[in-house]
Structure 1
Amino acid sequence: MKHDKSIAWPGGAKCAVMLTFDFDAETLWTGRDARNKQRPGVLSQGRYGATVGVPKILEMLSEEEAPATFFVPGWTVENHTDKVEMILKEGHEVGHHSYSHIWVSDDPAAEAEEFEKGLASLEKVGVKPKGFRSPAGEVSSGLLTTQAKAGLLYDTSLMDDINPYRHILPDGSKGPIELPWHWSLDDAPFALFSIASPRPIFTNSHILEVWKEEFREIYRWGGLFDLVMHPQITGRPSRIALLREMIAFMRSFPDVWFATGAEVAEAWAALEAEGKV
């Protein structure tokens, strides 16, 4: 059930902040166009996210003592295992992000296969994910049921609120808790360039203006600020500086709670059990 009132976040916080990273690596490119598997130049952008982006982001998060959630496709788990283990060693959450980052929401069988393969890859590195984010927010209603059967606590694929809410499945049973996001809080529309679909690369000041103004109002509303980033984008040198500045800006507000997706979902579930949402 959705709501139009502020949430009583833990510790009396007025706003919850999720720093999330979609660690797609090369799947961001191969999932959209299989021909990219034979294009080293294109793939090198994704590889940068793994080899440089993730370690530098983890270094910055450690310095800032900020928790984060990394949503990782199964292919990335298998091909950049050391970086996933690095994320886990730093104490961050690892969530489910399909297997190969392809859009399959119009093919239930393929969607289910992507989910199961990705789940199996995560389990091989000792991760039993609590949350799922679909590639580009493309998700069928059936996948929410699949998530519930797999025991996942939350989904973060939809954009229809600024606070968590509970999905109700077709059979009337409770589904995952939704932790909404939005394209305006995603680094990709501002800074992901492709020859196949060229678009402007915006300056830090432009991105910060959008993010800061959105945070200011979500804070005032008492909502969830779910920031979506990608290591191959925000892992670039100046963009890491951008994120550091954004964290400092959010911390200039009193009573802001930085948390993982699992922590946010668990806090909301506790409020739901008490009838407070």
Structure 2
Amino acid sequence: MKGTIMQEFAPVNWPDGKRVAVMLTFDFDADTLWLSRDPENALRPGTLSQGQYGAKVGVPKILETLKTAGVPATFFVPGWTVETYPDRTDAIMKEGHEIGHHGYLHEWIDPREPEREEEAFVRGLEALRARGIEPRGFRSPAWETSPNMISLLAKYGFHYDSSFMDTVHPYLHATTGNPVVEIPVHWSLDDAPFMMFSTRTPRTIMTNSHLLEIWQAEFEEIREWGGVFNLTMHPQFTGRPSRIRLLRDMIEWLQQFPDVWFARGHEVCDAWLSSNDSARAASE
């Protein structure tokens, strides 16, 4: 079947005997976060300015923080964002971080329209390639998926996905063609539920201490399980002044653990494949 799990998970021998992989990921949606939710937001410059903050201020501050800490990251970027903010995309690449595919206009998938799904996928991929980016990984916008998605990734030669929430260990999707590794996510490790606010969909904005308590507790148990701590952030939220402090504090706390491996998405994917040659062979 399309997009089904080949196996729940297999143990990973993380490089250099490390116990847990840490992925710092940033969904650089910019304006598309708001345009995809409501096309009428194109007429609301105040609403769009939240996304624009991510490009103007958030990305540079995040890159500065990562550079100071000496850790790598993966940025998932919609094609529209690449076209609209090419200088920021170039800055991410210049710092050696990975760029993954994240749709074109951060489109929410409608499983009943596979043709439109592929059209948006290809348009976003072409925008990345036009900037000299050949992405190996994909994250579906808003983590909205379809039964077609994994087959689509295999068709276009992707190596990993980061959109499912069914475990804390990487695993292999059942596909025809090249293997597609899943690097799972979860809303508890996403900044948006705790920081995102709109007058049309108001929610409580949480303090840094609240997030640190959740994220650190999640990390400690994932570390015990030998999994991957996949932290999802957005430049328009985590790029805010106090949240940059949160990012800095979280990284410094993680760096206290000698058995942590900070890695980009494609490195986590390769480590899993190297540790599970039999699963990889079965998929080919």
**Contact 1:5 1:222 survives alignment (8 Å):** no
Give 3-state SS (helix, strand or coil) of 1:226's partner: strand
1-side partners of 2:74 and 2:192: how far apart? 17
Structure 1 match to 2:124: 118
Correspondences of 1:182-197 after superposition (within 5 Å): 182-197=186-201
> 2:74 aligned with 1:69, yes or no?
yes
1-side partners of 2:269 and 2:55: how far apart? 27
**Contact 1:27 1:75 survives alignment (8 Å):** yes
Q: CA deviation at 1:3?
A: 4.5
Report the AA paired with residue 264 of structure 2.
Answer: T
Correspondences of 1:4-43 after superposition (within 5 Å): 6-43=11-48
Structure 2 match to 1:100: 105
Cα deviations by residue, 1:35-84 (Å, 9 ceiling, x for unpaired): 00010000000000001000000000000011000000000000001100
Structure 2 match to 1:234: 238
Q: CA deviation at 1:138?
A: 0.7
> 2:160 aligned with 1:154, yes or no?
yes
Report the AA paired with residue 152 of structure 1.
Answer: F
* 1:54–1:261 distance in 2 versus 1, CA, 3 Å: same
**Contact 2:155 2:177 survives alignment (8 Å):** no
Q: CA deviation at 1:149?
A: 1.3
- Any gaps of 5 or more consecutive residues in structure 1? none
Cα deviations by residue, 1:144-192 (Å, 9 ceiling, x for unpaired): 11111111100001001101000003xx656410000000000000000
Give 3-state SS (helix, strand or coil) of 2:261's partner: strand
> 2:80 aligned with 1:85, yes or no?
no
Give 3-state SS (helix, strand or coil) of 2:276's partner: helix
* Further displaced range: 172-181 or 71-80: 172-181
Q: CA deviation at 1:109?
A: 1.2
Q: CA deviation at 1:14?
A: 0.2
* TM-score normalised by L of structure 1: 0.96
Structure 2 match to 1:204: 208
Structure 2 match to 1:243: 247
2-side partners of 1:251 and 1:82: how far apart? 30
Correspondences of 1:41-52 after superposition (within 5 Å): 41-52=46-57
Structure 2 match to 1:178: 182
Q: CA deviation at 1:4?
A: 5.9
Give 3-state SS (helix, strand or coil) of 1:141's partner: coil
* Pick aligned residue for 2:224 from 220, 228, 231: 220
Give 3-state SS (helix, strand or coil) of 1:214's partner: helix
Cα deviations by residue, 1:220-268 (Å, 9 ceiling, x for unpaired): 1110000000000000011011011111111112210000000000111
Give 3-state SS (helix, strand or coil) of 1:257's partner: strand
> 2:136 aligned with 1:144, yes or no?
no
**Contact 1:6 1:221 survives alignment (8 Å):** no
* 1:97–1:4 distance in 2 versus 1, CA, 3 Å: closer
2-side partners of 1:4 and 1:37: how far apart? 42
Q: CA deviation at 1:274?
A: 5.8
2-side partners of 1:52 and 1:129: how far apart? 25
Q: CA deviation at 1:105?
A: 3.2
C-alpha RMSD of matched pairs (Å)? 1.6
**Contact 2:10 2:276 survives alignment (8 Å):** no
* Further displaced range: 12-21 or 96-105: 96-105
**Contact 2:159 2:178 survives alignment (8 Å):** no
* TM-score normalised by L of structure 2: 0.94
